[in-house]
Structure 1
């Protein structure tokens, strides 16, 4: 074996479930691997960033909505078939506070409020199986206190 050995590095991400009073969920329509897909507001936790700060930042950047996290839903592991990368998804439920900007991240087409039935009707448009899994867990009452994830920055 020559060269530097490859080091396995997991990817830590957040995803955010935001439901409005009409039962619709805040979703992101985005480009991913040559497809146009729906996902929760989600993204990587940046170096030295508190997890809850990543929840707020990613939602604002991808949807223009300011949110406040209320519950931790779970840690979901996913190996993406397209690239073999292992993602650890810290999923949270948050309340929408207000729409503060129309400016969205590169690669984001639009933010939408969609029902669970609308999402189930187009499984081929979901970024991963975790999109429905997280919403269904939320709908089934899964809720943990925010402090179940210990973060010395919060």
Structure 2
């Protein structure tokens, strides 16, 4: 079963729901020339100032992969050309008092520029061994 199959994606959602997860986020790990794309959260946002991979909430009626494509495009202006693999998830407390699960996928994009930010104040292509201020979960994701 491939990571893009409806059965695989539905299984991810079902497992998270069974674990009591209240929010789903889809995240894109975009690599280029040995570096990974990171976006910096606006200072006044929840977890402001932290760097993260492009990601966003899965909306009602949307699959995790639909959200992955939509959020990547909305946050960066980049278009995903291929979902290469599922690289795991991590859970964190959200601003609503519940628990969010972030589903992380390795992807390729049609072009790596221009990057057009709509929700973040900066971007960078970072080497996995020289990451800026990221959460412990993102550090583990990018260095494991």
**Which TM bucket (shorter chain)?**
0.7 to 0.9
Q: Which runs of 5+ in 2 are unaligned?
A: 1-19
Q: Which of 19, 29, 52 is 2:40 aligned to?
A: 29
The ranges of structure 1 where at least 4 consecutive aligned residues each deviate by more than 6 angstroms after the TM superposition are: none
Shift of 1:136: 2.2
RMSD between aligned alpha carbons? 2.3
Q: What is the 5 A alignment of 1:46-125?
A: 46-67=59-80, 68-79=82-93, 84-99=97-112, 102-106=115-119, 108-119=120-131, 122=132, 125=133
Shift of 1:16: 1.3
The answer (yes or no) to whether the contact 1:55–1:69 under 8 Å persists in 2 is: no
Q: How many residues align?
A: 122
The answer (yes or no) to whether the contact 2:56–2:71 under 8 Å persists in 1 is: yes
DSSP 3-state at the match of 1:46: coil
TM-score, length of structure 1 as denominator length: 0.68
Aligned-partner Cα distance in 2 for 1:116–1:41:
15
TM-score, length of structure 2 as denominator length: 0.72
Structure (1 or 2) with the larger CA radius of gyration: 1
Shift of 1:134: 1.4
